């Protein structure tokens, strides 16, 4: 799944994107977290697939597992 994610310094300032696009992983994850369905994401970005969305979530999960970052109270208050 991770082959669907690309990190190139020349694309979106080196942010992780869906391979072959300029769509950042964080945008897909944030939209999903805000309640958008996979179907809505596919309508908003017709060049991506369900597998691409799953790869974004997988990538985010891998990052969350690898790094432990304490949440500050300001973030928790949101």
Q: Where residue 25 sits, what CATH number does that domain have?
A: 1.10.10.10
pTM, entire model? 0.80
Domain that holds residue 12: 2-76
The model's pLDDT over 38-57, given as tens digits with 9 standing for 90+, comes to: 999 999 999 999 999 999 99
Does position 34 have pLDDT exceeding 70, yes or no? yes
Number of domains in the chain: 1
Burial 4-40 (b: 16+ CB within 10 A, else e): bbbeeeebbeebbbbbeeebbbebbbebbeeebeeee
For residue 18, the number of C-alpha atoms closer than 13 Å in the C-beta half-sphere is 22
């Amino acid at each position: 799944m991770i082959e669907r994610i690309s990190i190139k310094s020349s694309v979106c300032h080196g942010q992780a994107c869906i391979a072959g696009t300029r769509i950042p992983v964080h945008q897909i994850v944030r939209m999903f977290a805000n309640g958008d369905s996979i179907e809505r994401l596919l309508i908003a970005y017709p060049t991506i697939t369900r597998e691409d969305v799953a790869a974004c979530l997988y990538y985010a999960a891998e990052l969350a597992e690898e790094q432990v970052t304490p949440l500050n109270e300001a973030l928790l208050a949101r």
